[in-house]
Amino acid sequence: MTVPVLVLLALAGLLGGIGITALGPGGVLPTIALFTLTDLAPSQVAGTAIVTHVATGALGAAAYRRSGHLREPAIRRTALVLVGTAVIGTPVGVLVNGLVSTRVFGLVLAAFVVVVALLLWYREAHPSASSRPHPHPVTIGGIGLAVAVASGIVGIGGPMLTVPLLIALGTPVLESLAAAQVQSIVIAGVGTVGYLANGSIDWGLAALVGIPELAGVLVGWRIARALPTRTLKTVLIVVLLALAPYLALHG
């Protein structure tokens, strides 16, 4: 593996970490980089990517706990529901991953990327959504289960899909980010056990991507609390939509 490729993988980790705590979507960037820049099989891509989210989820949750965004009872309830569904849904996703080819994996990843871009766009186009009451626990449970399965398949931590969905349903941005970090710990932990049992984790690449990703988590947390994120959202939407056709054709 060449030095430029290694640098790009580390950069994807850094940008992914920033995206995780600043916006929610962002954790998919390491998965995209591992899929497009290496010759890893789909199970290795997912396993290597998901293990990095154990640490990023823990660090993100700790950061949002420190800033007080996990203190509200409604957000704690949301986090607990997401955690419970993660325990059920993630193993299903890991099992499904073992059944898909590289071609199908690329199509699935491209579909997730488009969905996230559209959810981000929806949030920008309908800012009044945040004024609605918190979604019902049953709704949250449905979201959590679907996200956990999807995360297990492609090796993401959860915030990529959970945050835009919660925001679209009326949960405030920072509270959505905080609850999704807690969910990410469980999805990543359960997913890591599943992929580890299959021998599908490249620990060297996980460290190469994961260490910069941790630094990015702290940067993203500060961005989310201190700066308007509209420009960052717009850039991410454009990047995701531009990458989707390539991912669909890759492999």
Task: Give the pTM.
Answer: 0.81
CB 186 within 8 A of CB 87: yes
User: Quick check: helix, strand or coil at residue 50?
Assistant: helix
**Per residue of the chain (251 residues), what is the pLDDT tens digit?**
799 999 999 999 998 888 777 766 677 888 889 999 999 999 999 999 999 988 888 988 888 888 888 888 888 899 999 999 999 999 999 999 988 888 888 888 888 778 878 877 876 676 655 455 667 889 999 999 999 998 898 888 777 788 878 877 778 777 888 898 899 999 999 999 999 998 999 999 999 999 999 998 888 878 776 666 566 667 777 877 887 887 777 65
Which residue has 């679907």 as its token pair? 146
Using CA atoms, how far apart are residues 157 and 141, in angstroms rounded to an integer?
A: 16
| Nearest in space to 190 (alpha carbons), one of 86, 97, 98 | 86
Between CA 145 and CA 107 the distance in angstroms is 21
CA atoms of 75 and 180, how far apart (whole Å):
10
Domain ranges of the chain: 3-249
